[in-house]
C-alpha cells in the first residue's frame, strides 16, 4: 500500500532523508530539497505529520526532543516552535 501522509505510517526514504538533511544543514532556510526540487518546509511538515518512523538520535538532539521520537513528533515540535 503506498504511503498516504494523512494516514501516516512508514514514510518513503526520500521524504525522511530530505527532512534530516534540512535539520543537519545549519544554514537551511524555509525549503527542503527532494528529488532535485525545492519544496517549502511546510510541505515536508505536512508529509511527515503522521509518520511513525523514528528520527535518528542526532536529529532528535539537534531539535531538542527525546531520542527515539518519531518524525511526526519532530515536525509537530517545529510547528509549535514557529507558532510560539
Kindly report, residue by residue over 18-29, the tens digit of the pLDDT. 999 999 987 778
At residue 61, the pLDDT reads: 96
Structural element, H or E, at residue 39:
strand 37-40
Counting every residue written for the chain, the total comes to 84
What's the mean per-residue pLDDT of the chain? Answer: 90
At residue 53, the pLDDT reads: 95
pLDDT digits 0-9 by tens, 28-61: 789 999 889 999 999 999 999 999 999 999 999 9
At residue 28, the pLDDT reads: 79
Return the domain boundaries, the chain.
Answer: 13-24+31-83
Nearest to 7 by CA among 41, 49, 42: 49
At residue 1, the pLDDT reads: 60
Whether residue 74 has pLDDT greater than 60: yes
Amino acid at each position: 500500500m503506498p504511503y498516504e501522509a494523512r494516514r501516516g505510517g512508514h514514510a518513503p526514504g526520500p521524504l525522511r532523508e530530505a527532512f534530516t538533511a534540512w535539520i543537519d544543514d545549519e544554514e537551511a532556510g524555509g525549503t527542503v530539497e527532494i528529488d532535485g526540487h525545492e519544496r517549502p518546509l511546510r510541505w515536508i511538515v505536512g508529509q511527515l505529520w503522521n509518520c511513525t518512523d523514528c528520527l535518528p538520535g542526532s536529529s532528535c538532539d539537534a531539535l531538542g526532543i527525546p531520542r527515539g521520537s518519531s518524525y511526526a513528533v519532530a515536525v509537530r515540535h517545529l510547528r509549535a516552535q514557529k507558532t510560539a
